[in-house]
Structure 1
């Protein structure tokens, strides 16, 4: 049974172009090595090592840097323990007026007291700016380092400047140490993201990011086993370029350098557009889809990999729509609005707007109890001063100007 499954999965008609067999790849010329699927098996244990390195980096490097910018973890004010309200909160984090009135009668609580309880309870689940700063600094460090490594390799590679070189003499193309190291590092990093997404800051589009990570891991693994490394290195480098700017912009936002953050976000929007909506589809995908068809012809794995590339392109279009709206706000309104794309923390969303009756109550008492201003550009997860007044829902969850994307591969 095992042999049958193995022979079915490694079918030559799926993995290899016509007139090429596995036997043809068994004995490369002296001094030459071709990619084999087993080469990247080390990525899984390396992903665990990446997670360990990340913990050390965040503790010894990112946190001290955050303290330089006076970014503290902060402790949110806890909500009064109440089992009945906890059950309601589990199903609805922001109950409407009708639900609040029902709870008011059931518990003999004033509706303002209930509003305050739900606001404090939401604040308890919000990640601190310190946590978000450390996460972004780790990603920035990886993306910047791996991008520099990739460009050192690609700059002297002929397929960087002529994508048809990706397909000449395919699949009999030698594996270089630079290609192998680049692939293993990227695959280990994205496996680490798969493992850590359940403990990292939860995003609004958790399902989309899960699809993205799965597509990325599958694409990297299949392109390596299929020896599409030349095109694969171009795909990964194109994605890393915009991620660097995005993570840097997030760091400036957490440090409250708002003007610099706005400028960097506009640069990120331009970089994202150039790399993922111009270079990626019209240069890289065009080569994998059309130039390869012309030179080597279509086959099973070729179609599968092109399908994954097109899935990533659909995600790019969806994300850029929101990015463009935010960039317009940064240019014409002088600030980056709340990021609704992939990296917005669901726990940092603005509170649900109340009905007009509640708005009237908010207007009558706009200040927080501790006398501080109710508006804040960066959500500090309940840290700093005291919480907002019970009737000031607009200040309960200040918007975060920019919260990143992996976007992705």
Structure 2
């Protein structure tokens, strides 16, 4: 217990987390303080709030999104189950550990399994395709998932814009540092921070049973980075710059999930339009406002207005990490946009499970899953394969 206390004291060293000549007692809330300061114990609230959001999501998907999706003609059908085969099932599960849940089978493995089980290579491939399809969620499930995120981002962006509209730092970013660290917290900002943090906790938790994406680990890093930024900025009373980061990140995600939902509902023209507007808004906010306004402010303006401290570099590093993820996703988005223009439409579902692509490619090429996957990425001569390639890159994109 003494060792744990020692480690905690070292971790929360005031010389690391606070500006010079500032102590934790200075930032502790109390009746003698001229403003209401952040309480670090309130960071426990987003965890039960995340459970509440998951329950709300479940209720909305069951009683609102699913019926609405069915009224649009979206099917809830599931693929036929693969015949029971313990040895093939064991190979299938083992492939997930090697290939990170992508369940690909090399040509050599197909030949080896066919000899071992006295089956033809075509039979092994057919079973593998059926087994992978068995794990894929229905279109209705994916529609409900994207509808929930679209509704939440719309709410959170609207609420954030509403509560920040009359805040001085919304229009003059230097106010994020003037008078720091004695910035008071109001009820509306408190709720904005708590609900936003709870949402990212809910995404981190539900990610393990939601539709499996090809960018699973990028998204996991993104969620953990966002939670860390929100939590540490709350503890260090840097909530002003934190609210601006939230606002910038929420707006584009509304259109992304709306485009996905319309794709599943077969509103192709609306999907293409939403995706085009999303691409433009993403570039403006994630590669424009975020680096050249917010990160520029934290890197250039903040040192001019306040003495720096080690935690400042931690925050800036996390912000730059998020920018790095944005650059990766922007490259994928631009590839999707290019493929969509050359193919005539945005084909495939945005950021869907990567296994979907391989199966469709496999069926058209009559090759092993691994060869079909490679073919979908390299063959750009035929129009159908151009569409599949666009699908492949859209699959990699993220929601924040």
2:50 alignment partner in structure 1 = 47
Alignment of 1:121-200 (within 5 A): 121-200=131-210
Establish whether residue 83 from structure 1 lines up as the match of residue 86 from structure 2: yes
2:20 alignment partner in structure 1 = 18
Deviation (angstroms), 1:330? 2.5
User: What stretches of structure 2 of length at least 5 have no aligned partner?
Assistant: 96-102, 368-383
Q: Which moved more, 1:61-70 or 1:311-320?
A: 61-70
1:345 alignment partner in structure 2 = 353
Report if the CA contact (8 A) 1:350-1:399 is conserved. no
Rounded to whole Å, the distance in 2 between the matches of 1:377 and 1:130 is 26
Report if the CA contact (8 A) 1:143-1:244 is conserved. yes
Report if the CA contact (8 A) 1:377-1:401 is conserved. no
Report if the CA contact (8 A) 1:73-1:128 is conserved. yes
1:200-239: CA deviations, max 9, x gaps? 1111122222111111111000011111111100001111
3-state SS of 1:349 partner: helix
Q: Which moved more, 1:143-152 or 1:68-77?
A: 68-77
Report if the CA contact (8 A) 1:344-1:402 is conserved. yes
1:139-190: CA deviations, max 9, x gaps? 1111100110000112222211211111110011111111110000011111
3-state SS of 2:359 partner: coil
3-state SS of 1:298 partner: coil
Q: Which moved more, 1:195-204 or 1:308-317?
A: 195-204
User: What stretches of structure 1 of length at least 5 have no aligned partner?
Assistant: 360-374, 379-393
**Number of residue pairs the alignment of both structures matches:** 373
Instruction: Give the alignment's TM-score, normalised by structure 2.
Output: 0.86
2:329 alignment partner in structure 1 = 319
Q: Residues 195 and 172 (structure 1 numbering): CA distance in 2 closer, same or farther, change over 3 Å?
A: same
Report if the CA contact (8 A) 1:94-1:352 is conserved. no
Alignment of 1:197-346 (within 5 A): 197-337=207-347, 343-346=351-354
Deviation (angstroms), 1:18? 1.2
1:36 alignment partner in structure 2 = 39
1:307-352: CA deviations, max 9, x gaps? 1000000000000000011112233432225578xx4423323239
1:67 alignment partner in structure 2 = 70
Rounded to whole Å, the distance in 2 between the matches of 1:351 and 1:276 is 33
Deviation (angstroms), 1:31? 6.4
3-state SS of 1:191 partner: helix
Deviation (angstroms), 1:404? 8.2
Q: When you count helix as a share of all residues, which structure comes out higher? A: 2
Rounded to whole Å, the distance in 2 between the matches of 1:303 and 1:41 is 25
Rounded to whole Å, the distance in 2 between the matches of 1:311 and 1:91 is 32
Deviation (angstroms), 1:405? 5.0
Rounded to whole Å, the distance in 1 between the matches of 2:393 and 2:213 is 15
Q: Residues 153 and 405 (structure 1 numbering): CA distance in 2 closer, same or farther, change over 3 Å?
A: farther
Deviation (angstroms), 1:116? 1.7
3-state SS of 1:350 partner: helix
Runs of 4+ in 1 over 6 A off after TM superposition: 375-378
Report if the CA contact (8 A) 1:153-1:178 is conserved. yes
1:82-136: CA deviations, max 9, x gaps? 1122222223444344433343333332332222212111111111111111111
Q: Residues 376 and 28 (structure 1 numbering): CA distance in 2 closer, same or farther, change over 3 Å?
A: farther
1:268-303: CA deviations, max 9, x gaps? 111111110000000011112221111012102111
Q: Residues 19 and 339 (structure 1 numbering): CA distance in 2 closer, same or farther, change over 3 Å?
A: farther
